């Protein structure tokens, strides 16, 4: 099995075709239905978290907050996200710093989002893609030959402190060490025991199951949910925000 620079097997991901004779397609789709805001990432490739993708995700979350909707955050067939945009990372400079800071600020935003955040993970979740996955309240993943991995150590990158704090607050202790220190890749079936996913289902069931979880979450008292989320997560959020400001100061 061969993997590309993002660490994913593209043979498992259907190609999205664009009509280049019209305006560029949006990277993020927003659909509101009965208090559920379905936000879908689809860049036609591996859902790289580029500055444009991060901007569209934040705009979609702004809409969900205004709609007071439960968020159902989804990827495209075969991939949730393979992490930060590699050309921007390799170019370095201010745009790279802004992108990386923005990615972890987005994760912190999801962890503190006032309404429930349900994640529908249809495939690979690599590096920042994994950290974003871990920032949802309930995570449903599709079964299949997919990799869920914090691969920084394996490719010679320092693991940011903000990433460590995100891993720490969601993973079982033994798996926290293995994921962070050994860059251990997880499959969807082993990811549940590790704390990366809450539930694994067959791919054909993914949307319906995630939607069912979102509908149930919509029945929660919104103020009590928001207060409990902050009560549980405030120490982790404080650590993540300190790490962001330390590693990527304004």
pLDDT digits (tens, 9 = 90+) for 88-141: 999 999 999 999 999 999 999 999 999 999 999 999 999 999 999 999 999 999
Residue 1 lies in a domain: no
Percent above pLDDT 70 for the chain: 90
pLDDT digits (tens, 9 = 90+) for 2-45: 445 555 554 554 554 433 333 346 999 999 999 999 999 999 99
Residue 154 lies in a domain: yes
* Section 184-213 average pLDDT: 98
The CB-based long-range contact list for 153-156 (8 Å cut-off, 24+ gap) reads: 153/180, 153/181, 153/182, 153/183, 154/183, 155/7
Residue 178: CATH number of its domain: 3.90.226.10
CA dist 135 and 58 (Å) reads 14
pLDDT at 154 over 90: yes
Residue 189 lies in a domain: yes
Residue 165 lies in a domain: yes
Confidence at residue 7, expressed as pLDDT on a 0 to 100 scale = 58
Q: In this structure, what token pair is assigned to residue 64?
A: 């969900």
Residue 145 lies in a domain: yes
Residue 236 lies in a domain: yes
* Number of compact structural domains in the chain: 1
Residue 5 lies in a domain: no
Mean pLDDT of the chain: 92
DSSP states of 77-127 as a string? TEEEE--B-HHHHHH-HHHHHHHHHHHHHHHHHHHT-SS-EEEEE-EEEET
Residue 2 lies in a domain: no
Domain residues for the domain of 63 are 10-247
């Amino acid at each position: 099995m061969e993997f590309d620079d993002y660490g994913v097997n593209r043979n498992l991901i259907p190609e999205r075709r664009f009509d280049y004779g019209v305006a560029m397609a949006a990277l993020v789709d927003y659909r509101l239905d009965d208090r559920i805001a379905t936000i879908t990432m689809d860049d036609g490739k591996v859902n790289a978290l580029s500055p444009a993708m991060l901007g569209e995700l934040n705009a979609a979350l702004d809409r969900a907050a205004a709609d007071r909707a439960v968020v159902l955050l989804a990827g495209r067939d075969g991939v949730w996200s393979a992490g930060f945009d590699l050309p921007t990372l390799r170019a370095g400079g201010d745009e790279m710093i802004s992108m990386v800071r923005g990615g972890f600020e987005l994760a912190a935003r999801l962890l503190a989002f006032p309404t429930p955040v349900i994640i529908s993970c249809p495939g690979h979740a690599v590096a920042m893609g994994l950290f974003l996955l871990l920032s949802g309240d309930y995570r449903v993943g599709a079964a299949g030959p997919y990799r869920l991995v914090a691969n920084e150590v394996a490719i010679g990158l320092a693991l940011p402190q903000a990433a460590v704090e995100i891993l720490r607050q969601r993973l079982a202790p033994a798996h926290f060490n293995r994921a962070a220190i050994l860059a251990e890749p997880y499959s969807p079936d082993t990811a549940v025991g590790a704390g990366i996913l809450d539930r694994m289902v067959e791919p054909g069931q993914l949307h319906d199951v995630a939607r069912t979880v979102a509908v149930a979450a919509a029945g929660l008292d919104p103020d009590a949910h928001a207060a409990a989320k902050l009560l549980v997560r405030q120490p982790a959020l404080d650590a993540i925000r300190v790490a962001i400001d330390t590693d990527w100061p304004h």
